[in-house]
Structure 1
Amino acid sequence: MRKHLNRAAIAALSLTVASEALAVEWNVSLWGKRRAFTEHVEKLAELVNEKTGGEFTLNISYGGLSKNKENLDGISIGAFEMAQFCAGYHRDKNPSITVLELPFLGVTSLEQEVDLSMAVYQHPAVVEDLARWDATLLMPSPLPQYNLVGVGEAPKSLTDFEGLSVRATGGIGKAMETVGAVPTSMSASEVRQAMDSGIVKAVSFAPHAHMSFGTIENGTWWTTNLNPGTVNCPVVVNTLALEDLSDEHREALLGSVEEALDHYVSHYQTKTMEAWGPELDQRGIERVTFSDEEIAAFKEAAAAPAAEAWIVENTERGLPAQELYDLVTGKIANGS
């Protein structure tokens, strides 16, 4: 009897050890707080947990693992397995995907932004570019066109941006330079303090970020139709960690991306955009709308020169820059 009990105990212990050995936990580095911008990661964690019966979990941290501008570095050394970052934070580290941040590309929906980003992410030159950091691009964080919230007197025309200090990264910053603004690049978490102290007079964000990072708390005006572009903020995973997953866990992760993105887009369109107008009205923030003629002149001054400069610079880096640009503009022209 004792022999049989011992065997049963050993078998139970072995089963427990085996189950623990199968359990996988990934650390995920985000920043700020849970918001529209992170809903796809939250949904991904939920789906992976469900599909694996809790054997594979994503432990999401908002700022506890790394600074947002250092997330790609953290991925490269395996400090965590998954992270989100924005291409404009360190253009030299991920030049290939900055093609998606060129001004006035003409993207009209979050769904189109998803399709466009995924097409670029799968291009061999882009895969190779991010591989330098042991990073595999998993999914984008699609954002609508950026616009400005500012303090002080509202601009009446684009000439009023002359000399105005603006938080604007990537291609949006380049575009604002063409109307005389002085762009400054800083992370989202630094913006409110910079605005309060007068370092910047206006901030370029998508609506969710204006709400999440407090620019509307002291802002007095909002541009409704500048629409110079957006930023590209992918979610990446450490390539070795991805390869080390079991087939079941890898499929649970990769097979959940589409559903996570669908959830993100739906959440952004219903929750964020529905709240945006009332938030502006509640605070008495003035809406500034520029004429069609001014917007057309802005686009003409900013779009082509920025694209040409990007192609020249990144061709010199050894990237197939013209090919990447043609991929993006071709898909947009075809409505895909």
Structure 2
Amino acid sequence: MISVAAIAAMNVLPAGAANVEGPSVFWKISIYGNPRALTSGMEALAEKVSSETDGMFQIRIFYAEQLGPVRENLDALKLNAIEGAGICEFYHPGKNPAWTVFSLPFLPLGDPAVDRQVRERMFEHPAIVADMEKWNAIPYASGLLQQFELMGTGPKPETLDGWKGLRVRAGGGLGDALSRLGATPQTLSAPETLIAFQNGTVDAAAFPFTYAHVAFKINDEAEWFTSNLAPGTSECGWVLNKTAFEALPSQYQDLLMDNRDLVLDTQQAAYAAEDGKNLALFRETLDEIVYTDEQRAAFREKAGQPVWNDWVEANSDKFDAQGVLDALLTYAREAGATH
């Protein structure tokens, strides 16, 4: 697999060489947390844009909520306070209800190639676009989050009954799924989760496996992890300020849109690079929980389609929820036929 460094090297011009002429522009991108695999794609984009324009178009990523709380990034876009942001749909489901389809459990997105193709198409779906238009934003690039797994402390939930009573950081449909096992879901931001572990107010946390557990130091607090529950994923992707984008000269707009693959390629390479070393670390320092096929099938039966049905019913008065879910499943079938 091509490394992150190799991707970056192939996409940077020698100093002083400008392929794209244009005015001086400075953009601010807001993201929670520190630099990590999820941010690697936008970092590569910022470098590429600067190189292509000989420094005339600068994109600066502000980490660790320097520009405001992560739950207020959409508000900041609406106020034109920032030009782009990384958002997680389950941090503010009421602001982007159609986007919460991405966190439904057991969607057929386990194959990374299928997952990528589905998300690229969903980012152009009218309901997904409409959610962002309310906030003066446009969908740009998916975070391509991996399947979630859980880490926790205390008694190991080696059976499905073991989840009863556990306080679990899990948002959206994934939280709904775990609640059907008797867990109490909590919608904490990623940075808040480490503090919750340290304070003893959460027992387990679901994160994209494996990079995010390490990025937010959850493995430092945990005693065990699941490695094959694979209950689902979410969407923590990148959106741009619509006003700022439309104010760009067309050549800068094209530069951004033509480099979405760079963002996605870099993210995927970064995730893959993390997985090998992280899994070895987890197995060395934590107890691994591996569920049987029968246990996983029982979880899917209890928390798959029933949660989908509840989601459609809960959102049918806000947008065409059944249509959004059907589109995602159709895209997944079509992508699966080609991969």
Question: Structure 1-normalised TM-score?
Answer: 0.90
Assess if the C-alpha contact under 8 Å between 1:100 and 1:232 holds in 2: yes
Structure 1 residues 61-210: aligned runs within 5 Å: 61-62=62-63, 63-206=65-208, 207-210=210-213
Correspondence for 2:217:
214
Assess if the C-alpha contact under 8 Å between 1:107 and 1:113 holds in 2: yes
Q: Distance in 2 between matches of 1:161 and 1:113?
A: 28
Q: Distance in 2 between matches of 1:111 and 1:184?
A: 30
Q: Distance in 1 between matches of 2:217 and 2:151?
A: 10
Shift of residue 305, structure 1, vs aligned partner: 1.3
Shift of residue 175, structure 1, vs aligned partner: 0.7
Deviations 1:114-155 (A, max 9, x none): 221221121122222210110100011011111111111212
Shift of residue 156, structure 1, vs aligned partner: 2.1
Deviations 1:162-190 (A, max 9, x none): 10111111111011011111111110001
Deviations 1:5-43 (A, max 9, x none): xxxxxxxxxxxxxxxx92000001012110011111111
Assess if the C-alpha contact under 8 Å between 2:115 and 2:332 holds in 1: no
Correspondence for 2:43:
42
Query: Which SS does the other structure have where 2:304 is aligned?
Result: helix
Q: Distance in 1 between matches of 2:219 and 2:270?
A: 21
Q: Distance in 2 between matches of 1:142 and 1:211?
A: 17
Query: Gaps (5+ residues) in structure 1?
Result: 1-20
Q: Is the aligned partner of 1:276 residue 2:275?
A: no
Q: Which one-letter code corresponds to 2:249 in the other structure?
A: S
Correspondence for 1:316:
317
Correspondence for 2:232:
229
Q: Distance in 2 between matches of 1:78 and 1:120?
A: 25
Q: Distance in 1 between matches of 2:110 and 2:283?
A: 25
Assess if the C-alpha contact under 8 Å between 2:121 and 2:331 holds in 1: no
Q: Distance in 2 between matches of 1:205 and 1:125?
A: 26
Corresponding pairs, count: 314
- Could you list the runs of 4 or more consecutive aligned residues of structure 1 that deviate by over 2 angstroms after TM superposition? 109-114
Deviations 1:221-267 (A, max 9, x none): 00111111011112011101000001111111111111221111122
Q: Which one-letter code corresponds to 2:262 in the other structure?
A: E
Q: Which one-letter code corresponds to 2:131 in the other structure?
A: D
Deviations 1:180-233 (A, max 9, x none): 111111100011110111100111111211101111112110011111101111
Structure 1 residues 22-61: aligned runs within 5 Å: 22-61=23-62
Q: Is the aligned partner of 1:263 residue 2:266?
A: yes
Shift of residue 57, structure 1, vs aligned partner: 0.9
Assess if the C-alpha contact under 8 Å between 1:113 and 1:143 holds in 2: no
Q: Distance in 1 between matches of 2:137 and 2:78?
A: 7
Q: Distance in 2 between matches of 1:209 and 1:129?
A: 26
Correspondence for 2:15:
none
Q: Distance in 2 between matches of 1:82 and 1:186?
A: 22
Shift of residue 281, structure 1, vs aligned partner: 3.3
Query: Which SS does the other structure have where 1:153 is aligned?
Result: coil
Q: Distance in 2 between matches of 1:121 and 1:181?
A: 31
Structure 1 counterpart of 2:246, from 236, 243, 247: 243
Identity of aligned residues (%): 34
Deviations 1:283-310 (A, max 9, x none): 2x01101111111010011111111111
- CA RMSD in angstroms comes to 1.5
Shift of residue 278, structure 1, vs aligned partner: 2.1
Correspondence for 1:293:
294
Assess if the C-alpha contact under 8 Å between 2:103 and 2:171 holds in 1: no
Larger Rg: 1
Question: As a proportion of its length, which structure holds more helix?
Answer: 1
Assess if the C-alpha contact under 8 Å between 1:97 and 1:121 holds in 2: no
Q: Distance in 2 between matches of 1:252 and 1:268?
A: 25
Shift of residue 325, structure 1, vs aligned partner: 0.8
Q: Distance in 1 between matches of 2:270 and 2:112?
A: 11
Question: Structure 2-normalised TM-score?
Answer: 0.90
Query: Which SS does the other structure have where 1:160 is aligned?
Result: helix
Query: Gaps (5+ residues) in structure 2?
Result: 1-21
Q: Distance in 2 between matches of 1:172 and 1:99?
A: 11
Q: Distance in 2 between matches of 1:272 and 1:298?
A: 28
Query: Which SS does the other structure have where 2:212 is aligned?
Result: helix
Q: Distance in 1 between matches of 2:290 and 2:102?
A: 25
Assess if the C-alpha contact under 8 Å between 2:224 and 2:288 holds in 1: yes
